[in-house]
Each structure stands twice: as structure tokens, then as C-alpha cells.
Amino acid sequence: MRIVLLIFCFAIYTGVSAQISRSDLEKETNKGTALLKNGKLEDAIAIFNDILTQDPTEGKALLLRARTKHELGAYKGAKNDCFTYMDIYGIDEDVAGLLGKTEMAQENYKQALAYLKVAIMFDPEGVEYLMDRADIFYNLGLDEQACEDWDVAVENGSERAQRLMEENCRKFLREKQAEISEREAEAEARRRAERQMESEPMREDTYIPEDLLDESDSMTETDSTTYNQSGMENTEETAGHNDDSSEVDSSSYVKQDPIMEEIPEVTYPIDNSVEEIFIDDELTILISDGIGSRKVTEIPDILILSDKSGEVVVDVCIDRLGRILDPKLNEDRSTIKTPSLVSLALRESSNFRFARSSRKNHCGSITFVITGSE
């Protein structure tokens, strides 16, 4: 009984000590953060070093020390702290954004853009990440992309982005206004077409916006209602009026959409080709299973960090404009099913673009062949 009591007291003492230690760590972290904000970088580093000596897995302290090292220009040390953080907690917007900023400072723009893209995926309205990426685009002479990021930053309240837009994006602003006007005109045409379709029979010269074509497809189905020669619907009341036109079979007057015609089914040859796209030492993309010969016009910037090697297979369909529709994981063929990697593969699959085609739904697969670090 005495031994049990001693163990119970020791457990309580240990728990209280851990709570006090955690409280002290939080106080020290807040102190180091204040020093960092006030520009006292060496003092901040000393505090974060003490915290990490006590608890090497303290995530907030790792990121804060990495940020402090970045401010000091110790970029290698900053990246090492970021990688240590990712080994423990995985990648998130904070560490991706900081790695992007660090690579940007070293003018490693390709790596910086890849990390910043990940940060923006986590936080599409993150002004700091958008501004960093816009600065890279502008330095590389990619003015349109820079203006696009500044535009989003302006919508989220960045005054600096507003000034940069006014100085460097006059053409972009004109084109944006033209696009807005065009969308408004299309919306008005759509509303007119909807009203016309609701209020009167469709004529051959009726304009139908593309987004209404699917709805109008249903009009090709034969309506069993019949009409007499004068265009009146045949009912019990009007049936007698057809006696004088016995030579004409009133049942032949079937209401159909004059615009829609039956399109013969097209048979496409089987496509067994495979297109291999080398991204980097850790990743290769395979385009196959029916879409290998279709030209890829846009490849997204992809950054995959994985310890495991294997494949994530995503089933996709491509529309006539070359856009990916509803990507889905092929669980049977995928050998890696880590949620974060699957989510990344599905997201990046949607960002591929292909050449335009007459095929409405052109289906196949995009395979992410991953070479892990182990």
C-alpha cells in the first residue's frame, strides 16, 4: 500500500513539473518573439536555443529560430530548422512560406516558387506569400503573373500591392476590365436566352450560350403532343377541326428542336502510348491509359517530399478545352496512399492542361512516380 501511494505521489509531482515546464517554455517563446519583432535578433536566437535545448521538438520555437536566422542571413541554418520542423510536423503554410522566402533571398527562384505555391495552396489569400511570389515573377520579367498575385493581394487589403498595380499593371487592369465587361455581356445574353426559351418556341436563329447547351439537349427528345395544320394542339376540342384536311395526318406534326441534329458516333483509335515527364530526382509523371498521345500544354510546379517510394495513380477525364475533370484516386493501382501525398496528387492533377480536342470526355490516368529519400 505504501509503495502504491509513493508511485501515485510521484506521478502527480511529475505531471505538475511538466505543466510548469510547459508554462515556462511558452513564456520564453513569447519573450523571444517580442525580441524578434523589435529587431534584437541575437538575443532572440539565444532564447530559442535555450527552449530547443529543453525540448528539441518545440515546433513554434523551431520556426521562430528559423525566421530569426533568415533575418540574420543565415539561410542554411534557417532551412535546416525548417526541415527539422517538417520531419516532426509535416509541411504547412508557415514552413512552406518561410522556405520560399529563404530560397528567394538566395535567388533560387525555381525552388522558391515551388514552396510559395504550397503556402498559397494552404492559404490562397495569404498576402505575405502572394507578395513574395509576385516579387519573384516581376524580377523574372513575368509581369502578368506578378499582376495576378498583386491583384489578389489588393483584394485582401494590401496597400503596397495597390501601389505596385497602379505603377506596373495598366495593361492588366485594362484587360481585366474588358473581361468583366465581356462576362457581364455573356450573363445578360444568357438571361435573355433563358427568358426567350421560357416564353416562346425555339427558332433556328435562337442564340444559346454554351452553359445552356446541356439544358437544351433535353429538347431533342420527341414530344408526344401533336398539332394540327394551324399549329393548334390537338385536343378533344380541336380534333373536329381537322375533318377538312383528311389528306394530312395530324400525328406527323411532332414538336422537335430544329437546331439539334443527331450526330453520328465517332470511333477513336485505341491510345496505348505513355508520355513520361521528368519533374526532378524525386518525381516523374506518366500520362497514359488512353491520353498518352494528347499534347500536354501546361505542367504545374510540383514539390513532393516523401520518405517512401511508390506510385499515386489518378484517374482523370479531359474536356474539349483541355481541362481536367473530377480527378479520382485509383486505389487498386496506387502503392502510396499517404493522405497528404494523395491530396497533393489530386490537386496537382487538376492543374494540368492539354491541347484542345473534339472529344468531349477523353479519359485516362496521371501517375505520380515518387522516389523517396529512404
C-alpha cell at 269: 483509335
Percent of the chain surpassing pLDDT 70: 74
Residue 95 has a pLDDT of 92
Cα separation, 275 vs 6, whole angstroms: 69
Residue 221 has a pLDDT of 44
SS3 160: helix
Cα separation, 299 vs 148, whole angstroms: 19
CB within 8 A of 330, min separation 6: which ones? 313, 314, 315, 365
Which listed CATH number (3.30.2420, 3.10.350, 3.40.50, 3.40.109) goes with 275-370?
3.30.2420
* Exposure on the CB side of residue 25, measured as CA atoms within 13 A: 19
- 26-171 maps to CATH 1.25.40.10: yes
**How confident is the model over 60-78, as pLDDT tens digits?**
999 999 999 999 889 999 9
Do the beta carbons of residue 175 and residue 186 sit within 8 Å?
Answer: no
Residue 175 has a pLDDT of 74
Do the beta carbons of residue 191 and residue 211 sit within 8 Å?
Answer: no
The answer on pLDDT for 329 being more than 90 is yes
Strand boundaries in the chain, DSSP class E:
275-280, 283-288, 296-298, 310-318, 324-329, 353-354, 362-370
Mean pLDDT of 53-58: 88
The model's confidence at residue 247, banded by pLDDT at 50, 70 and 90, is very low
Residue 359 has a pLDDT of 79
- Residue 26 CB: number of other CB atoms within 10 A? 13
Residue 208 has a pLDDT of 54
pTM flag (> 0.75): no
Cα separation, 41 vs 37, whole angstroms: 9
Do the beta carbons of residue 235 and residue 254 sit within 8 Å?
Answer: no
The model's confidence at residue 188, banded by pLDDT at 50, 70 and 90, is confident
**How confident is the model over 191-225, as pLDDT tens digits?**
777 777 666 655 555 555 555 555 444 444 444 44
